[in-house]
Structures are given as C-alpha cells and as structure tokens.
Structure 1
Amino acid sequence: MTRLRTAILISGRGSNMDALIAAAKDPSFPAEIALVLSNRPDAPGLAKAKAAGVATAAVDHKIYAGREEFERSVQIVLETYRIQFICLAGFMRMFTPWFVGRWGGRMLNVHPALLPAYRGLDTHERALADGVKIHGATVHFVAPEMDEGPIVAQAAVPVLDEDTPQTLAARVLMQEHLIYPMALRLVASGAVRVEGNRVLGAPTAQETALIVPDAAAAPRRIS
C-alpha cells in the first residue's frame, strides 16, 4: 500500500498533531506523517514530533516581508520532503490564494465549532454567550476564505449548564482528536469525493456519533 505523504503544520503544542501521529503509526493507515512544520521555531509541538520520530522543520514567518514570501519558503520545504497532503493543526496563519490554490483539495483543517457557525477565534466563549445547546468540531478542506471549504466530518458536543469556556473547549478538543484522524483516513483512502461544496461518502452525524465516545463525558486533563 502506498501511503499519502502528509505534513502537519502547527504553531503551538500540537495536540491534534499527537492524535494524527498516533493514528498513522498503524501500518494500515493510508497516510504517513512525513513532516511536522511550524511557523514558530520555539513551538512545543516540534519537540514532541521529533520525539515521536517524525522529521521537523521551522519557517519563521517573522523574517519575511509578506505572507506570500513566507509561503514560498514553506512550499520549498514541502517539496523537499515530497509532501502530497497537508493537515493544519493549530496553525495560526492565514494562507494566501496562491498557496491554497497549489494545495486545493489536498489540505485539511480542524476548527473548534460546527461550521459554518462561529468562524474565527473565541468560538467557545461566543457559543456560551449565544446560549446554544449544541457546539462541536469540524474537519474541512481549506478554502481561501477563513474557516470555509467542504466539510469532511463533524462531531456535536452538548453544552452543559455548568460549562465554562475552558470545560467546553476541553470536551470539544476530545472530539477533534477523534474526528481528525478519521477524516484523514477517509480522504487518504479515497473513500470520499468533493462535489462543489459537499463531501460525498463521509459519515453522517449519526454514524459519527457511533464512532466517537460520548461528547458529554468528562474529559481527561489536558496539559
């Protein structure tokens, strides 16, 4: 089996990176994590990836005059490692249309909300302020616009009366760790296809609920 050479892009500690690396350790997983790249040389996730035996690289965005100049250097690194697919995992940079165009249909992102609701930052605070009863996480293909693109997988998380942004974030993150590897498996294996803004062949919400544990359960402590 030829496995899809995948790079994970991070800016911080990379907890979703951990989940993807762990899933890809299974030889039957259709993608291999061939590189972890960060725009921050001091990102804690780089050390974790290196300890897991994954190649790492850093391209410091601060030394570049503009976004496209930074992206062209990132592109050179990706080509050097013969990367075929990208997973964004807490990568805190918006890409230009130039970069997104080069990786169209070959780049996933995970977002801590049920898109198209709550694009952008502070999703948990905004969900609580609005009084919603269901929150969650989304894995989607990347489009030039922020937090848009065809949706591969979503997981719903009930909002509890006693929730704070921190407790809600912790439960949502648990679901991210489950649906992101699942989404990468579906895409890398060719089990799904994109038609317009829809991903066909992806699990329904009911099927996803059978795959992931109870989203209302108390999460483990996240360091």
Structure 2
Amino acid sequence: MKLAFLASHGGSAAKHLVQASREGALDAVPVALVSNNSTSAALAWARAAGLRTAHLSSARYPDAGELDERICSFLLDSGADTLVLSGYMRELGPRVLNAFAGRLVNIHPSLLPRHGGRGMYGDRVHEAVLAAGDAESGATVHLVTAGIDEGPMLAQSRVPVLPSDDLAALKARVQAVEGDLMLRALQELARP
C-alpha cells in the first residue's frame, strides 16, 4: 500500500500512520502529502519526514477542474494507490474521487451517520454532540464517495460523553482514539 494524504492543518492522523508504517505496524509506504494551506503544520512535518509535498489550493488554482486535475496528477505521480484524508477541509473533485475509488478513506469525529454531512466538521461536530445530549460519541472511518460523510463505514470507535464535558474535553477524548482507529481500518484495507 502506497499512502498519500490530504491535510489542511496538522494532519495528526497522517502523522500517526506515517509513524506506524515506519515502525512496521502498517504494511504501507507513505509517499506524499498535499495541503490546501501553505502554512499548515502537516506540510512542514511531511517535508521533514521525506514525503513528497505540495501546496495545491483554490487560491492558486481558482478553477475547480484544474485544481482537481493538479491534485490527482500529483498524487498519481507520487505512486500513491491509497489516499487518506487527515483533516482535509475541502470537497474532492471527480478526478480524485474516481482515481482512488474504494481506496480513499476519511475519519470523521462522530458516530456516523449522526452529526455528519455538509457543514459538520471540527468543533461543530463536538458542539452538536453536546447540544443533542448524546450519551456517547466517537470517530468513524469511512470510504469517501461524492456525498459528504456518506461512504461505507470501515470502523468506529466509541467514547462516553460525560456530564462534565465541554467542547475541549470531548474533542480531546475523541481525538485520542482517532489515530489507532484509522490504523486498524487501514490494516484491514491492506489485507489481500
């Protein structure tokens, strides 16, 4: 498995998978990372880790079709056969979706299908969980399709929502399970 990543900020799941690959916990070779944010921490650590990197964004390529083509070409040229979204905050175009169909995974910070879909990302998800009074939350790894958070689920991890939870506490508890959950899902995906 040749892994590439899309990240907008820190790319913590990607970083976890790169480390797991290099330690032998995941039979994969990390090859590339693309960020739509030129100052993202993900670009910095990925460069330092020896991955091919690129800043490809709508600011540089305002035409959505051209941006989609540039991302797809960069990823395919890197040799990637599996694409992981690690906090990537943009919708993917049809070229990327088609090129990596069935090998394109995302992690969402809730128990999908609850609190998923358009506009549900980052702190908004945790705020929605708290506002709904849910007894549990967690994270879901799913295949990415054209619909937002609608692809088939590969794995879930559950965490309790405690009466004393605020946004920061719930977010930290969910983030604590995301790396290992993504690792387990990719280990399954990598099996022949």
Scaled by the length of structure 1, the TM-score of the pair is: 0.80
User: Match of 1:77?
Assistant: 74
Structure 1: distance between partners of 2:65 and 2:108: 23
Aligned residue identity for 1:71: D
User: Match of 1:131?
Assistant: 133
User: Match of 2:166?
Assistant: 164
User: Match of 1:115?
Assistant: 112
| Paired residue secondary structure (2:59) | helix
User: Match of 1:42?
Assistant: 39
Aligned residue identity for 1:58: H
User: Match of 2:15?
Assistant: 18
Output one character per residue of 1:62-114: Cα deviation in whole Å (capped at 9) or x when no partner.
Answer: 12233222110011111211111100000111113443123210100000000
| Paired residue secondary structure (1:101) | helix
Pairwise CA distance, 1:28 = 5.8
User: Match of 1:207?
Assistant: none
| Paired residue secondary structure (1:135) | strand
Aligned residue identity for 2:54: A
Say whether residues 1:142 and 2:139 are aligned partners: no
Identity over the aligned pairs, expressed in percent? 34
For structure 1, which runs of at least 5 residues remain unmatched after alignment?
Answer: 191-223
- The partner residue of 2:49 within 48, 52, 62 is 52
Pairwise CA distance, 1:40 = 1.6
Q: Which moved more, 1:105-114 or 1:56-65?
A: 56-65
Structure 1: distance between partners of 2:53 and 2:96: 20
Structure 2: distance between partners of 1:96 and 1:54: 23
Whether the aligned pair in 2 keeps the contact of 1:8 and 1:88 (CA below 8 Å) is yes
For structure 2, which runs of at least 5 residues remain unmatched after alignment?
Answer: none
Scaled by the length of structure 2, the TM-score of the pair is: 0.92
Aligned residue identity for 1:144: A
RMSD of Structure 2 on Structure 1 (CA): 1.4
Larger radius of gyration, structure 1 or 2? 1
Structure with greater contact order relative to length (CA < 8 Å, sep ≥ 6):
2
User: Match of 1:7?
Assistant: 4
Q: Which moved more, 1:43-52 or 1:112-121?
A: 43-52
Output one character per residue of 1:179-214: Cα deviation in whole Å (capped at 9) or x when no partner.
Answer: 011111110123xxxxxxxxxxxxxxxxxxxxxxxx
Whether the aligned pair in 2 keeps the contact of 1:30 and 1:189 (CA below 8 Å) is no
Structure 1: distance between partners of 2:180 and 2:80: 23
